[in-house]
Structure formats: structure tokens, C-alpha cells
Amino acid sequence: MIIINVKEEESIDRALKRYKRKHRNVGIVKQLRARKHFIKPSVQRRNEVLDAAYRLKKFGSNN
């Protein structure tokens, strides 16, 4: 459960912005979507390797 303490002179908008940022950083929605369907460990590992290879190719060395 995410708890946000609203400070004395803080506006509700600012507190809501902090809540949204903390919610996004915790990754609750991403975790719920991942748990929705079971993915075999071998398939999950293969996807991780393919994603890493893609990132290395696209953003890796600038040669």
C-alpha cells in the first residue's frame, strides 16, 4: 500500500503528483499485467535475451 503524507503547506495537486510518481516507480500496474497470464520461464528468459540484444543493437556502441 502506498502512503503519501501531505505536508502542511502543500497543495493537493502537488501531493497527487507525488502519489502518481511513487505509484509508477513501484510498478504495481506492470506487475499486475505480468501476473495476468502465466509465461513459461524459458519463454520469459528468451524474451529478456532478445530485448537485451535489441537494446544493445539500437542504443549500444555508437560505432
- In this prediction, residues 1-26 reach a mean pLDDT of 89
In a domain, 48, yes or no: yes
The number of distinct structural domains making up the chain is 1
Report the chain's mean pLDDT, rounded to a whole number: 89
Assess if residue 30 is contained within a domain.
yes
Residue 45 placed within a domain: yes
Stated pTM of the model:
0.49
Kindly state the average pLDDT of the residues 9-23: 91
Side-chain-side CA neighbours of residue 21 (13 Å): 7
Looking at the predicted structure, is the pLDDT value of residue 61 above 80? no
C-alpha 32/C-alpha 47 separation (Å) is 19
Domain that holds residue 25: 12-59
Q: What is the mean pLDDT of residues 26-53?
A: 92
